[in-house]
Amino acid sequence: MHITTQLSVLGLLVLGTASTTHAQVPTPPPPAAQTSSGGITIGASGFVGLPIGDFGKGLDLGIGALLDVSYNFQPQIDLVGRAGFIYFLLDDNYGGNATFYDIPVWLGARYFLAPGENGPFLHGELGLNSYHFKVDSGLGSASHSETEIAVNLLGGIRQGKLIAEGGLYVGSLDDVGDSMMIGGTVGTSF
Give domain status of residue 13, yes or no: no
pLDDT tier at 32, thresholds 50, 70, 90 = very low
Q: What pLDDT sits at residue 174?
A: 92
Calpha distance 178→136 (Å, rounded): 24
The string of pLDDT tens digits covering residues 84-95 is: 999 999 887 766
The answer to whether 157 and 133 have CB atoms below 8 angstroms apart is no
Give domain status of residue 32, yes or no: no
Give domain status of residue 2, yes or no: no
Neighbouring C-beta atoms of residue 53, cutoff 10 Å: 13
Neighbouring C-beta atoms of residue 82, cutoff 10 Å: 24
Give domain status of residue 77, yes or no: yes
The residue segments making up the domain with residue 86 are: 37-189
Give domain status of residue 12, yes or no: no
What is the mean predicted confidence (pLDDT) over 157-177? Answer: 95
Give domain status of residue 7, yes or no: no
Give domain status of residue 90, yes or no: yes
Q: How many domains does the chain have?
A: 1
Give domain status of residue 117, yes or no: yes
Kindly report the CATH number assigned to the domain that includes residue 173: 2.40.160.20
The string of pLDDT tens digits covering residues 3-18 is: 444 444 444 444 454 4
